[in-house]
Chains A and B, each alone.
Chain A
């Protein structure tokens, strides 16, 4: 693709931004889920009925990575 240098740099920056958006969001979700997950497994071990509630709490932070995905996707649209 023959892009003028300005556009190419801009597109590149957008791509890097998209990568950072989803990468860091994923990391954040991971950190949050790690602790909730450990606690949820503990609760389920004590009382299997807690599985449903544990799972709801466990998956709550996933929204962060979905937001990251959407932002990354919007940035990809800018390239």
Chain B
């Protein structure tokens, strides 16, 4: 939590004969993050791929070609095969497949091309059937130019009017006008111009002879025969597919893994008799690698931990408890934290659902979101990102329901009880008398909600600055103390806002009485605004410290800090906005449902209410609340400390889904 997994720099060395066992061992463990070897010298050079590499890649190439011709790329094997079976069957199966598939796939391709060609001819000939002119007569004159094609509008009249001698055939039964025009060669340009005005598009007639009608009939017959051939080939291929699909998918995966391993020496330093694998291992698992190498390589290879050089940055493997893990999704969207940096996933785990829940704050929509999250988790197991998002939505929905019940006491935008300010407002009292009364009313306690939002914002921002202090403390003390200056200014700004609010909200009363209770109580009034002198002093102190710690340019950011704080007002704004939207729909549609007296209208009203609520309040509301909740973290919180740009921990490992291997 808060810090990524601790890494140890490790070097695996051994005799060259044990290289492939070592690689095998490292892949099985999946905990060594390899550092690519690049600086070659006389002693060490980049290794050669293992001997099996070239043979394996040839086989893989063949298999992939067959996957394409058999169209089984998306196939999931019903019975994943064991690697032993794959190995023993591989050679023979490849020969059988090659013999049966390649020729068939080729002829299928040829037939398909032929069918396409003939269909193209039919498309070209069909429009000119009504003219009943033999195809060869459309072309090949010395003194005549011919135009065959389609026009948007009928050009017949224009052609006859402007070109002295011409013959025009027009068929305008379809949306596009089909024309065949014959003009003297000298009128060619003029005719082209007229045709262009009517959006002429030429038809490329095939080089055949005879009546187009008969030719088309003939072509259709040929296509039918070809289709029959195609169906036969498809059936054959289908049989092969059924027989070999599992084998092909399983062995494709197996061979890919083999190649991955076989090509690993390309990233490793080797000399004539030895090899050196450089990498990072999670400190907690160094022991594991040591024992595994001992047993598998019989003392020919061993691991040694070394102290990293200064410029070396360890890879980052975030370490969070299981419930917090899904929230790493939000971190990955921005950037991997650096190894030395604080990992803010835990804070996201707390603040995101809180912010989200506060903005939605409704039992009905909260339960809906929980259901949505649960469905995403249930149905989207195959997509890790959507699965994580499902968990996040579930957590947000849970908090929204909790806030909906205990803080706002409302469901689907309708309060459990009518507010004191408006007794005649619709409420759930019609259905049941729920013994929970709202602590906050979205429509009437806006000021209070603003106060809470700013209070939360102050805590969140201060935490960000504390993290910033920690991140900078080790390598740049000046910046670290700059963060304290910022925190002091923030404290002053927050105090000033709370002093202005005075006793208008319970939050400000509480803050003024507790957090500021120990500060000297002296304030003055300037043009009608209460100014707290301690607050002003704090702001000034911070501002004076800034140029010395963060540089003079940081002074311009003081306003930015103020807007950061005010930015949290969106928590209240969205809650109120969403509440107002739901209220508006309910106010318009409730009379329709309850007072219309007509059951049909009532049902229609209820339906309209459901659809509008779902769309505007549920989906748009949830979407914007989600975006705002994450934005407050990304922009206001992260920018106070987060740099990112760390390297992801990517150990030597593979994923076996479609084949089985026993260790």
Contact = CB atoms under 8 A, between A and B. Distances in A.
Interface string A39-55: 00000000000011101
B631 A62 contact: yes
A51 B627 contact: no
B570 A55 contact: no
Interface residues of A, number: 15
Contact of A56 (B447, B450, B635): B635
A35 B627 CA distance: 19
A27 interface: no
B334 A62 contact: no
Nearest to B636: A63
B563 A59 contact: no
Contacts of B563: 63, 66-67
B569 interface: yes
B566 A70 contact: yes
Contact of A63 (B333, B567, B634, B639): B567
Interface residues of B, number: 19
B333 A66 contact: no
Contacts of A51: 333
Chain A interface secondary structure, helix, strand, loop or mixed? Answer: helix
B72 to A, nearest CB: 28
A52 B333 contact: yes
A55 B634 contact: yes
A73 to B, nearest CB: 7
Contacts of B569: 66, 69-70
B614 to A, nearest CB: 25
A62 B635 CA distance: 11
B446 interface: yes
A73 B446 contact: yes
Contacts of B639: 56
A55 B567 contact: no
A56 B334 contact: yes
B334 A53 contact: yes
Contact of B570 (A52, A56, A62, A73): A62
Contact of B566 (A56, A59, A67): A67
A66 B573 contact: yes
B573 A59 contact: no
Interface of B: 333-335, 446-447, 450, 563, 566-567, 569-570, 573, 627, 630-631, 634-635, 638-639
23 contacts: A52-B333, A52-B334, A53-B335, A55-B333, A55-B634, A56-B631, A56-B638, A56-B639, A59-B631, A59-B634, A59-B635, A60-B635, A62-B631, A63-B563, A63-B566, A66-B573, A69-B569, A69-B573, A70-B566, A73-B446, A73-B447, A73-B450, A77-B447
Interface of A: 51-53, 55-56, 59-60, 62-63, 66-67, 69-70, 73, 77
Given A52-B334, A55-B333, A70-B569, 14 more contacts: A52-B333, A53-B334, A53-B335, A55-B627, A55-B631, A56-B631, A56-B634, A56-B638, A59-B634, A63-B563, A66-B563, A66-B567, A66-B570, A77-B447
